[in-house]
Structure 1
Amino acid sequence: MTHFEIDPPYDELAERAVLGAMILDPEVIPQVLEYLREEDFYIDNHRLLFSLLYKLWEDKGKDWDDIVLREYINRYGLKDKIDMSFIYALVDEAAKGALLQEAINLVKEKSGLRSLMDLSFNTLRGIKEEPDFNRLLDLITHRVLEISEKQTISHYHHIREVASKVIDIIEKHRKEERLITGRATGFLDLDILTTGLHPSDLVIVAARPGMGKSSFMLSMAINMAMEEKVPVIIYSLEMSKEQLTMRALSMLSGVPLQNMRRGFIKEEERSRLIGSALELSRCEIYIDDTPTLSTTDLRIKTRKLKKERGVQVAFIDYLQLLRPPVRKSSRQEEVAEISRNLKALAKELSIPVVALAQLSRQVEHRSDKRPQLADLRECLSGDTIIIDAKTGISYTIEELYKTGRSVEVYSLDLNTLKIVSKPVEKVVFSGYKEVYELRTRSGRSIKASNNHPFLTPFGWKELKDIQVGDYIAVSERYPKLEIISEHPEELCWFIGKEKGIKKMSEKVLYEVTCILEDKDLETIALSEIFFDEVVEIRLVGLEPTYDLVIPETHNFVANHIIVHNSGQIEQDADLIIFIHRPEYYKRNPPPEEQGIAEIIVAKQRQGPTGIIKVAFMKDTASFKSLESSHMQKIESYEPDLEDFSEEDYDLDF
């Protein structure tokens, strides 16, 4: 391979013109910030000056002059790199009027080219170091999309423009005189409740195995393609395209699926199957049964299908089988990343994205086995202490839920390992669950469900995967707690497993980082957490449980321990549907439950929730609306906190 050198593309004059404009007229700084960040500048002192001007604008707005700028240069120790003669020279070269936007665009374009160049070099290095072709391709594709997104500027819109567009949409619906304004699923009660599936919606259909998730999804896809003439794509990571099509033919023809598999079909059934196959062939249903699909693959393929085939709805079977674009330290983080990417896909292409999800066994601990939103959440006991970062006042998480008090909490920035303040977006009640008490050597303790993730030296781990002797991250910053342990040296740092598991004090670790000049180790050494040894985990029993929703960092400090944010899937989804068949769990189900499935609308961002009953035919594994189903009363879905009691949950411990 020939080694070659390429000078990084940049435009010094454009960078100087932009910086000069920011100094000459601080009122243009917001225009610059809409497009550029520090890393978009190539020359080092240009980067430094841009960061300083950004800080100055944050602190002073537009009310500053060259005297204040000189003061800031001195305050931040930059006078050796940025002198006033340099500043005055930039002012003379400042871009004005329309020329400023041209200079901004030029700086941004060169920044994008440098990113592509870095990607090219890293690709060559990756070919040598990464033997897995598909893995490397995933990383490259994800990085290209990231670069593309950074080059695309999201513009704001005045509300009058948006209001006008919304009125047009409402007027269109009024003239059509339809109850269902989105994509009809084919289940009338469900469509009346939700008004159909709408563009940009992420729809989660979740259930335990055996409930018929794939069949329910397939019923919706067939109805949209057949009745509404809408092109759809089904990504089937679990079933082959042949298995999926066989199931579709069974649904349409009424021929039992088992008979089809065995080939035991009568002539009349054969005729029905051929007729159903002809019906299906007229539908624009596309199937991709690639077994190992990443969200990056999904995004590229769906974008292409929408452009070339006009696809209007994407179905995914199922969410947990997808791979994130970049591997995370825990499956918990990966599922959260997948969920965010699916929501981004729905918004980007303005189509409904329907993803199946598998619920944990926790559902079956309930006496009625009925799924709830709580099954998508991790949770903590009501007496968990949360400190308001603004006031220092302590509250229990139950108190925050009942009072609706608005607070900011301490949270860990995973990039810097520093404790920061973050607002609480929502406090959620997660139902009555069995909780375990975890105690650490320093004396900290917390009660949580066994699926609640804690931060370990090797990433997030659910409580059920943590053992006595493992280490979890605890807050060191605020407030300071007396260390109860008689062996403070055991409250130690871990260096990542790729460097070998070693114990060392914070002081020694920092000395090592200075010698090795290792930025990652320096971040650890200067962080505001330490890893505390778990000395006990014990079952407490059934308690009311809660959790917080924290934007961006997705974690918070509770009882001075770093714990994970509540379920990401629930946050991202616009519509969450559970499937429940009571007869599945009973040897002799009563007549009113035989052949009946509950379609539970547990969350709808812009509408009511409820439970809808439909027919389920075991022979063909298919769902159908009940006769006169639109006349049925839709049951309410989730009870309030006061409606729960321990007697409602007959758990077998």
Structure 2
Amino acid sequence: GLTHKNHVAIFSLEKSNEQVVQRLIAQETGIDSQRLRTGKLQENEWPLFTHAIEVFGDTHIYLDDTPAITPLQLRTKCRRLHMEFGLDLVIVDYLQLMGGDTRTDNRVQEVSYISRNLKVLARELNVPVLAAAQLSRAVEQRSDKRPVLSDLRESGCLTGDALVSIENGRSVPIRELAGRTNFKIWALNPATCKLETMPVSRAFSTGTKPVFKMRTRLGRELRATGNHKFLTIHGWKRLDELNKNDYIASPRILPIDQAEQTMSNSELALLGHLIGDGCTLPHHVIQYTTREKDLADTVVNLAVKVFGEDVNPRVSPEKQWYQVYLSSTRHHTHNVRSAVTEWLDELNAFGLRAYEKRVPVQVFEQPKNAIALFLRHLWSTDGSIQLVKGKKVRPIVYYATSSAGLATDVQSLLLRLGINAILKRIPQSGKGRDQYHVTVTGKTDLHKFINKIGAVGAYKQGRLAEIKDHLYIHPENTNRDVIPRDAWRMQVVPAMQRIGMTTRQMQAAIGTEYCGTGLYKQNMSRKRAARVAVAVQSAELQILADSDIYWDSIISIEPDGEEQVYDLTVPGHHNFVANNIIVHNSLEQDADIVMFIYRPDQYEKDTVKQNVAEIIVAKHRNGPVGSVELVFRGALAKFETAATRVFKPNE
């Protein structure tokens, strides 16, 4: 604007117009900005000052210091300037201080909306728009302070082992998704609170950052940066803003139901038995061990159905056990293996010790009824189904394993059937490897287990029948699948005020004995929430009552070192499911060019690069990226090249 007489509009949201003009004069004259502000000029500086005023009087620089200006207001002003005078450049200082055109609790999406509107403005007027933005303070927590593109995003990142639930039912480590595009994941529709498949536009690493490990009441774990956001009843919150006992959103069910079953029922059933009680190590005949004769016979029949004449199964009674040997009938020469071994190898289930076992990914791709069948046979091995009798009769249904991965897989498969099981680590106190129990509790989930999964073998079928009879005569105690009590104040009370309903009237309408505002201290069951929603005419509460969200409480958040982290961009819903927890995504960087200012002397006092600023071009859609060093003159708040220009009044 000064050198080339171009028309420049500067929207300063942080400084007033007077402060901006003062900075411009200091930079042009070389007069210390502090003395310029206080008016303590030296005699020889007055000509420089008056000449600068004359120079700026002939420029076409338009200043606007409207606080919290919205994208709509900014576009209106720029259009007017462009029509009257023409514009060559628009500068916004700075992006995060702009306001949104609509009210939203999600500042991340609001900033993304603002940046997209600035890009639309640039295209509409055919002028460059330069927007300054403040980086997250998280960069100062890293050992390497150089800024990277991910620092611009107001969302965090996950460690590479985070399992992302993708469209076909598989859970894939996020590190394996990096670089891929146009695949679909499961995300929560914020309008309906239902899970849907959504495309991913980008998956990428964001560098090495400090991470924290979060554990929930259901036994789910996730490692993420402190600024990664999780959905609460109050909206999205950063991990470092969450506390123990806070509720976060997780899926109540993953509504995946593949149309095509690619594994036969016999394969799934046999696989369940061999994962649970099978020995599938190399240089050893594949064998299965059980206490129950009918289960041994079941495995024999399944093996024949799957492998036909390639296997010769036999049952060998040994003390209190039955051993089933799946002997091969093939003539084993070089590179010839048994049919059972080849099948297990294809499923990546061969050669694993008990603590290494996992559910093959192919099982996750099956429809719900096939998954239920697999779990039914798996549960017949190391699963427990019993009605404990004593002072308090209670049903116990759990699966036990020494493999943490297998326990997580079983918990995830149960979620496919709408069962929210609890995963707990059971220390063995030096008696062997720790065990992991996946436990099904609560009348609702136990009924789902009985009706969808069931049992194999006379013993467990009998115990499951006892539990079914017990549940029939005992009322449900709702204490897990609830809506956090803050919903009373957030949804119910405002709805009551809108229709002029008192607390006494509301409690009478839902059939509850009047207890004043004491009711607001209790979490809401889904059934109660549905009744309240009808009584107070609250569509928002009805959505929560019918949602796909299970509100899981946090039991711990602990620092967990530094690690390479990753994120996804999910246009539209802006979230995804990882480790069976609903997490926020990264927002796409809309700018065509992204530049950072990095000053090493701000972090390293002994650096040789004192007063040196590195301008890093980190993104350029139509050109190269790189960096250049400038000298920063603090007294003038000015960046200069090594060969600085000296201002002269008569030039």
Mapping of 1:181-200 within 5 angstroms? none
Distance 1:463 1:430 in 2: 17
| 1:575 correspondence with 2:597 | no
Question: In the TM superposition, what is the alpha-carbon distance from 1:381 to its structure 2 partner?
Answer: 0.5
Mapping of 1:78-477 within 5 angstroms? 225-377=1-153, 378-389=156-167, 391-401=168-178, 404=180, 407-477=183-253
Match of 1:120 in 2: none
Distance 2:620 2:59 in 1: 29
Q: Aligned-pair RMSD on alpha carbons?
A: 2.3
Distance 2:596 2:489 in 1: 39
Distance 1:415 1:482 in 2: 23
Letter matched to residue 236 of structure 1: S
Question: Which has a greater percent of strand?
Answer: 2
Q: 1:615 aligns with which of 602, 615, 631?
A: 631
Q: Which moved more, 1:321-330 or 1:361-370?
A: 361-370
Question: In the TM superposition, what is the alpha-carbon distance from 1:561 to its structure 2 partner?
Answer: 1.2
Q: 1:553 aligns with which of 573, 579, 603?
A: 573
State the SS of the aligned residue for 1:345.
Answer: helix
Letter matched to residue 556 of structure 1: F
Distance 2:539 2:73 in 1: 33
Distance 1:399 1:534 in 2: 28
Match of 2:523 in 1: 503
Q: Which moved more, 1:412-421 or 1:497-506?
A: 497-506
Match of 1:603 in 2: 619
Letter matched to residue 507 of structure 1: K
Contact 1:491 1:533 in 2 (8 A): no
Distance 1:612 1:375 in 2: 20
Distance 1:383 1:268 in 2: 66
Distance 1:519 1:527 in 2: 12
Letter matched to residue 464 of structure 1: D
State the SS of the aligned residue for 2:84.
Answer: helix
Distance 2:637 2:531 in 1: 65
State the SS of the aligned residue for 2:422.
Answer: coil
State the SS of the aligned residue for 2:133.
Answer: strand
Contact 1:330 1:461 in 2 (8 A): no
Indicate how the Cα distance of structure 1 residues 424 and 405 shifts in structure 2: closer, same or farther if over 3 A, else same: closer
Contact 1:576 1:602 in 2 (8 A): yes
Question: In the TM superposition, what is the alpha-carbon distance from 1:227 to its structure 2 partner?
Answer: 2.9
Letter matched to residue 177 of structure 2: L
Indicate how the Cα distance of structure 1 residues 322 and 483 shifts in structure 2: closer, same or farther if over 3 A, else same: same
Per-residue deviation, residues 203-243 of structure 1 (Å, max 9, x unmatched): xxxxxxxxxxxxxxxxxxxxxx1233321111111111111
Distance 2:135 2:77 in 1: 27
Letter matched to residue 387 of structure 1: S
Normalised TM-score (structure 1): 0.58
Question: In the TM superposition, what is the alpha-carbon distance from 1:496 to its structure 2 partner?
Answer: 6.2
State the SS of the aligned residue for 1:572.
Answer: coil
Per-residue deviation, residues 439-458 of structure 1 (Å, max 9, x unmatched): 11122221110001111111
State the SS of the aligned residue for 1:571.
Answer: coil
Indicate how the Cα distance of structure 1 residues 393 and 512 shifts in structure 2: closer, same or farther if over 3 A, else same: same
Contact 1:509 1:525 in 2 (8 A): yes
Contact 1:385 1:394 in 2 (8 A): yes
Match of 1:484 in 2: 422
Letter matched to residue 128 of structure 2: P
Distance 1:507 1:624 in 2: 67
Distance 2:152 2:591 in 1: 11
The alignment of Structure 1 onto Structure 2 pairs a total of residues equal to 399
Indicate how the Cα distance of structure 1 residues 607 and 385 shifts in structure 2: closer, same or farther if over 3 A, else same: same
Question: In the TM superposition, what is the alpha-carbon distance from 1:619 to its structure 2 partner?
Answer: 2.2
State the SS of the aligned residue for 1:244.
Answer: helix
Mapping of 1:27-38 within 5 angstroms? none
Letter matched to residue 396 of structure 1: P
Contact 2:187 2:197 in 1 (8 A): yes
Contact 1:490 1:533 in 2 (8 A): no
Per-residue deviation, residues 294-317 of structure 1 (Å, max 9, x unmatched): 223222222222222312322111
Match of 1:10 in 2: none
Question: In the TM superposition, what is the alpha-carbon distance from 1:481 to its structure 2 partner?
Answer: 4.9
Match of 1:589 in 2: 607
State the SS of the aligned residue for 1:429.
Answer: strand
Contact 2:181 2:202 in 1 (8 A): no
Contact 2:252 2:420 in 1 (8 A): no
State the SS of the aligned residue for 2:161.
Answer: coil
State the SS of the aligned residue for 1:232.
Answer: strand
State the SS of the aligned residue for 1:523.
Answer: helix
Question: In the TM superposition, what is the alpha-carbon distance from 1:628 to its structure 2 partner?
Answer: 11
Question: Which has a greater percent of helix?
Answer: 1
Distance 1:550 1:435 in 2: 22
Contact 2:219 2:422 in 1 (8 A): yes
Distance 1:622 1:517 in 2: 59
Indicate how the Cα distance of structure 1 residues 368 and 270 shifts in structure 2: closer, same or farther if over 3 A, else same: farther
Distance 1:542 1:481 in 2: 34
Question: In the TM superposition, what is the alpha-carbon distance from 1:292 to its structure 2 partner?
Answer: 3.1
Indicate how the Cα distance of structure 1 residues 248 and 628 shifts in structure 2: closer, same or farther if over 3 A, else same: closer
Question: In the TM superposition, what is the alpha-carbon distance from 1:435 to its structure 2 partner?
Answer: 0.8
Q: Which moved more, 1:427-436 or 1:285-294?
A: 285-294
Letter matched to residue 108 of structure 2: Q
Contact 2:530 2:545 in 1 (8 A): yes
Question: In the TM superposition, what is the alpha-carbon distance from 1:533 to its structure 2 partner?
Answer: 1.1
Question: In the TM superposition, what is the alpha-carbon distance from 1:366 to its structure 2 partner?
Answer: 3.3
Question: In the TM superposition, what is the alpha-carbon distance from 1:387 to its structure 2 partner?
Answer: 2.0
| 1:521 correspondence with 2:537 | no
Per-residue deviation, residues 86-116 of structure 1 (Å, max 9, x unmatched): xxxxxxxxxxxxxxxxxxxxxxxxxxxxxxx
Question: In the TM superposition, what is the alpha-carbon distance from 1:583 to its structure 2 partner?
Answer: 2.1
Contact 2:203 2:568 in 1 (8 A): yes
Q: Following TM superposition, where does structure 1 have runs of at least 4 consecutive aligned residues deviating by more than 4 angstroms?
A: 485-488
Indicate how the Cα distance of structure 1 residues 550 and 496 shifts in structure 2: closer, same or farther if over 3 A, else same: farther
Per-residue deviation, residues 612-645 of structure 1 (Å, max 9, x unmatched): 111222221111233499xxxxxxxxxxxxxxxx
For the pair shown, the structure with the greater C-alpha radius of gyration is: 2
Contact 2:181 2:201 in 1 (8 A): no
State the SS of the aligned residue for 1:436.
Answer: strand
| Greater relative contact order (Cα < 8 A, sep 6+) | 2
Per-residue deviation, residues 320-356 of structure 1 (Å, max 9, x unmatched): 1111112221433433333333333333333222111
Letter matched to residue 639 of structure 2: F
| 1:493 correspondence with 2:511 | no
State the SS of the aligned residue for 2:479.
Answer: helix
Indicate how the Cα distance of structure 1 residues 393 and 588 shifts in structure 2: closer, same or farther if over 3 A, else same: closer
Distance 1:604 1:559 in 2: 34
